């Protein structure tokens, strides 16, 4: 689902930063010129710190963003990634450095202020308030929540405004619930392999794409 969503943004002219801590989940991103992919935790840390500078640059443009492409920050296995970023920061944090990892702080800033600067975060995982500390209600971080294979507790955490969780979940691959404000509907993801994505984005005129 993360691959499909990111690919559709790229197809519309966006650029993307794909954070792939498993290092093998998004190999499709290696082949595309408008995608930056990072796998090891040091690379992810540095990419997010750079994101903070890019976000500041875009904010300084004061809305003059017509020629600035959207930037999609796609974070796979986000829960694990946030924990690893926190531990990584502790390995070299100095006495006078902030306690919070600057990479995590940059992600928080992108979630809170990114949309005004055409920076959008696709966060694959359940956001924990211990890692994203500036909110007590995780669902407030996101304009849209997509839920598949969820528990009742996850639904209560991320979609409380949409009422109780559905009693039965659709077993069909790629089915998910989209929650926006207080409304929800079920829909189907576009299922694409790595090869499908690369072919679609590099040769959109190919009838097989």
Q: Tell me whether residue 34 is in a domain.
A: yes
Residue 112 confidence class, pLDDT cut points 50, 70, 90: confident
Instruction: Find the domain containing 42 and state its range.
Output: 2-202
Tens digit of pLDDT for each residue in 79-88?
889 999 999 9
Q: Tell me whether residue 184 is in a domain.
A: yes
Tens digit of pLDDT for each residue in 9-52?
999 999 999 999 999 999 999 889 999 999 999 999 999 999 99
pLDDT at 209 over 80: no
Mean pLDDT along residues 107-128: 87
Q: Tell me whether residue 207 is in a domain.
A: no
CA distances for 99 relative to 55, 89, 103, 105, angstroms: 21, 9, 12, 10
Residue 126 confidence class, pLDDT cut points 50, 70, 90: confident
Give 130-136's long-range contacts (Cβ < 8 A, gap of 24+).
Answer: 131/79, 131/82, 131/83, 131/86, 131/104, 132/82, 132/104, 132/107, 132/108, 133/100, 133/108, 134/108
pLDDT at 136 over 60: no
Domain of 85, CATH number, reads 3.40.50.300
Q: Tell me whether residue 85 is in a domain.
A: yes
The count of domains in the chain is 1
Q: Tell me whether residue 208 is in a domain.
A: no
Mean pLDDT along residues 155-170: 83
């Amino acid at each position: 689902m993360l691959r499909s969503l990111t690919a559709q943004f790229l197809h519309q002219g966006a650029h993307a930063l794909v954070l792939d801590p498993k290092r093998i989940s998004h190999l499709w991103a290696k082949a595309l010129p408008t995608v930056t992919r990072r796998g090891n935790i040091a690379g992810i840390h540095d990419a997010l710190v750079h994101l903070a500078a890019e976000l500041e640059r875009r904010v300084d443009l004061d809305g003059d963003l017509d020629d600035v492409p959207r930037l999609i920050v796609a974070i796979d296995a986000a829960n694990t990634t946030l924990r690893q970023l926190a531990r990584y920061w502790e390995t070299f944090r100095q006495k006078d450095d902030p306690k919070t990892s600057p990479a995590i702080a940059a992600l928080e800033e992108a979630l809170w202020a990114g949309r005004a600067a055409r920076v959008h975060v696709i966060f694959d995982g359940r956001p924990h308030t211990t890692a994203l500390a500036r909110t007590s209600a995780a669902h407030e971080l996101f304009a849209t929540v997509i839920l598949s294979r969820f528990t009742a507790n996850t639904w209560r955490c991320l979609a409380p405004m949409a009422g109780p969780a559905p009693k039965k979940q659709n077993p069909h691959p790629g089915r998910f619930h989209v929650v926006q404000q207080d409304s929800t509907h079920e829909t189907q993801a576009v299922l694409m392999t790595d090869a499908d994505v690369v072919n679609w984005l590099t040769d959109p005129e190919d009838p097989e794409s």
